[in-house]
Chain A
Amino acid sequence: MNRLEIDWTRCDGHGLCATLLPDDVALDEWGFPVLRGREISAGAAPDVRRAILACPALALRFADR
């Protein structure tokens, strides 16, 4: 029961998250992530965690609530 969230004050639009998580993140015309907003299933959680750690700006995270 968790979703992705972006700290927009940090995100630099590197786009790495969209490459790592093509099912959850797309990129807009400026290269910034568009979240598909779906719940992260238990099976997908490890990949998502990896992407969170890979974000160069530390902008990607699980939503608190």
Chain B
Amino acid sequence: MTTLQDTRVRVIGEPRLLAGFDLGRLDRQRHHWTHGTQPDLTRETYTRLAESVGLRGRGGAAFPVALKLADLPARGIAAVVVNGAESEPVSRKDRLLLTVAPHLVLDGAVGLARALGAPHVLIAVHDAVAATSVREAIVERDDGVAIEVSDTPGRFVAGEARAVLSALEGGPAVPPGRRVLPTRKGYHRRPTFLSNVETFAQLAVLARLGSKGFSSTGLISEPGTQLLTIAGAVRQPGVIETPTGVPLDTVLQFAGAEPGPVLLGGYHGRWPARTDGLTLQRPDASAGIILALGSDTCPLGEVHRVAGWLASQSAGQCGPCVFGLAALVDDFGRLVRGEPAGWHDAQRHLGLVPGRGACAHPDGSARFLASALEVFGEDVRLHLGGGGGCGRPVRGVLPVPGGEW
């Protein structure tokens, strides 16, 4: 076990992205000793490799990398953008990678930029330590590609792909009103390849190992490793690198999670009805966030707290998102206090929010809340049964930035 920036780092199986992490940050020299040099590959090779190993983006959306590459035009690609905003409050994996293995991420981004003929690599980072590590790494390299690091604000929605692009262009870090694909109209409305930090580290590993070597661990459908962030009611929170398809129970045991419900995929994610027999793969594993709730806190009260935070994170641009999420916070509050009308109103409002905003924040928030109502059905009955709730206090196991909202 190693602790970096207050984040415990451990590995199940063979470390790939985190190879050599136990000695701390990999500077240029240690990076080369550990990983070797990045081969120069063509765009066709990247596409073929990404397709053959079924590589998916390691942000929230889990979009296939090969499809994203195929959607880019033959020429005129403006930039490769590394999204390191990591705006899910619990996630630590991206800042960890940028802090410990900046050259691996840069190899992936620069290698792809060269293959695509893109003149710029832009890196959006929120965490200050991670940004410093990347800036130091850039000084150690000579890539012949312009690499820039930009700080992004720490709001949830600021991590959305188009919000990141807007911020990189010097605009506000909010999603624009039109849902356009960055591959078509990205940085300054020109074709752009944008993906999450871990995706680029995976591409760097894939370029070195080839599809056969890359596929020596993990699932057949989506081989390789993944970074997970685990938090909540666990003895050892932190970041874990595991083969894809690792059973959720294995990870929970490894981290010393208390028995109880588990949230997968962060605050836009879902509560699976049961954890046994589940394997961690995309899209359910999403950005790799696992939150254990334990059994001595009030689940609905916890969800209500998070709902309040989610509502506060709306960029305030779109009516149904602003009013809908505020209404849902109120609904969940009444439900927790035992008012049946709160439950009924929540059902209605959950139908009014998805798909009615400039970004997926209302959709993701509604998914999280709807899944909670389903999985915590027994708790809903206890709260609405007139017996004064489930009898457990709200301990704040689900972290909410800034504590109260």
Contacts and interface: CB of A to CB of B under 8 A. Distances in A.
Interface string A1-34: 0000011111111000000000000001111101
Contact of B358 (A7, A12, A29): A7
B352 interface: yes
Helix, strand, loop or mixed for chain B's interface? loop
B367 interface: no
B274 interface: no
Given A28-B352, A32-B356, A10 B323 contact: no
Given A9-B174, A32-B323, A32-B356, 9 more contacts: A8-B321, A8-B357, A8-B358, A9-B358, A11-B319, A30-B323, A30-B324, A30-B327, A34-B352
Given A7-B177, A9-B176, A9-B177, A32 B319 contact: yes
Interface in A6-65: 6-13, 28-32, 34, 59, 64
B352 to A, nearest CB: 5
Contacts of A12: 319
9 contacts: A8-B317, A9-B174, A9-B177, A9-B318, A9-B358, A11-B319, A28-B352, A30-B319, A30-B324
Contacts of B175: 9
The 3 closest A-B pairs by CB, nearest first: A8-B318, A7-B177, A9-B177
Interface of A: 6-13, 28-32, 34, 59, 64
Given A28-B352, A34-B352, A8 B323 contact: no
A64 B319 CA distance: 22
Contacts of B324: 30
B54 interface: no
Interface residues of B, number: 17
A65 to B, nearest CB: 10
A7 B319 contact: no
A30 to B, nearest CB: 4
B210 interface: no
B143 to A, nearest CB: 36
B346 to A, nearest CB: 13
A23 B321 CA distance: 24
Interface string B307-330: 000000000011111011001000
B177 A32 contact: no
A3 to B, nearest CB: 13
Contacts of A64: 178
B341 to A, nearest CB: 14
Given A28-B352, A32-B356, A34-B352, A9 B323 contact: no
B356 A10 contact: no
Nearest to B176: A9
B320 A7 contact: no
Nearest to A30: B323
Which among B174, B178, B318, B319 has the greatest number of chain A C-beta atoms within 10 A? B319
A30 B320 contact: yes
Contacts of A28: 320, 352
B319 A8 contact: yes
Given A28-B352, A32-B356, A34-B352, A10 B177 contact: yes
Nearest to B321: A8
Interface string B161-182: 0000000000000111110000
Interface in B216-268: none
B311 to A, nearest CB: 14
A6 B358 CA distance: 9
B323 to A, nearest CB: 4
A8 B177 contact: yes
B69 to A, nearest CB: 21
Contacts of A32: 319-320, 323, 356
